[in-house]
Amino acid sequence: MEKALGSEELSYDITDNHGHVPVMRERMAALIESPVAALGDRAVILDGTLGAGGHTEYFLSQFPQAMVIGLDRDEHSLADARKRLEPFGERFLGLHCRFDQFEEPLAEAAAAGARPAQVVQEAGFAGALFDLGVSSMQLDQVERGFAYRVDAPLDMRMDDSTGITAADVLNTYSHGDLARILKNYGDERFAGKIASAILREREKEPFSTSGRLVELLYATIPAASRRTGGHPAKRTFQALRVEVNRELEAIENVIPVVVDKLAPGGRAVFMSYQSLEDKIVKRLFKEYTTSKTPPGLPMDLPEFAAKYRLVTRGAEKANEQEIADNPRSAPVRVRAIEALT
């Protein structure tokens, strides 16, 4: 990858990355490098899934003229990231919000005089990155209830100050709704059987900890099926997390907003780790990059021409070296779109 404009590139040490290696960081920087370079000191990058701040730190180091606005619904993660990114001063702005609800806090920050917010309101984003799914920081915080290998409260909220918990889902949803989310969000073969077991168990005592749910799953999923496909709780925990945080709804909502706020030539990059996420990104990207000219006409009409183009050919994957260096990158699928006007 060519370096960004200027010779004042800051050093970046992966050993000082707070224990969390950002997935495909060099490739993410390469995908947004052209518009960032073109906009110079008016280049603003949106990190829609700030997490530990690894991608943002790398962008700020690689592109010394650029600014980054980072979003996170998790106040704990946001506080840690702000502290980590203090050396970059006003080039970084952190906003507490769900990533599809950033417009209001962005406008408030601009009105308050935050330069990154003011610039992006005038010029649009040079680049935007969404590293979807649960962050490694949240997985590593046992008390948050995301991990199924330890007993912890069944919370799973990325923003633990609001919304329903995984325990609420288990204790209040109907059999049909439980089976639906297990099947649709977790691709769980035994969704109906597990839902029935949950209803029986919660009549005895409401669910409160992950350990009890894991025990139920071991007892419900046939032994032959438990021997393949990873941990038997993996699919159920994923489904609960997606439901609690309305993750797919947020992706559907944010893509129209973020592509509309790209500067000419600006690029939005989405990193998906499960097929449901990737299907949404693929479908919406296709919609935005397809001409709306009525069928049967001999040529595209300018007013119906596509305003965006695909940057990636299909979904890019991590290479062998990336996976060896960072096993969490193995399932990632990357798609990027560029604003033409």
Element (H, E) at 324: helix 320-325
Specify whether the CB–CB gap between 281 and 311 falls below 8 A.
Answer: no
* Most distant CA pair in the chain, distance: 68
Rounded to 10 deg, the angle between the 247-260 and 275-288 helix axes is 30
- Is residue 99 annotated as involved in ligand binding? yes
Q: Is residue 72 part of an annotated ligand binding site?
A: yes
**Burial of residue 298 (number of CB atoms within 10 Å: 0-12, 13-18, 19+):** exposed
How far apart are the C-alpha atoms of 336 and 324, rounded to whole Å? 24
118 annotated among ligand-binding-site residues = no
CB of 207 within 8 A of CB of 169? Answer: no
Look at strands 333-339 and 262-272 and give their pairing: antiparallel
First-to-final CA distance of the chain: 25
Q: What residues form DSSP beta bridges with 69?
A: 46, 93
What contacts 197, CB < 8 A, 6 or more positions away?
Answer: 216, 219, 220
**Residue among 285, 269, 289 nearest 47 (CA):** 269
- Residue 131 marked ligand-binding: yes
Q: How far apart are CA 255 and CA 249, in angstroms?
A: 11
CA 105 remoteness from chain centre: 19
Q: Which of 330, 332, 277, 288 is nearest to 311 (CA)?
A: 288
The continuous run of DSSP H or E covering 239 comes out as helix 234-245
Q: Give the residue numbers of the binding site.
A: 53-55, 72, 99, 131, 138
Q: Give the residue numbers of the binding site for S-adenosyl-L-methionine.
A: 53-55, 72, 99, 131, 138
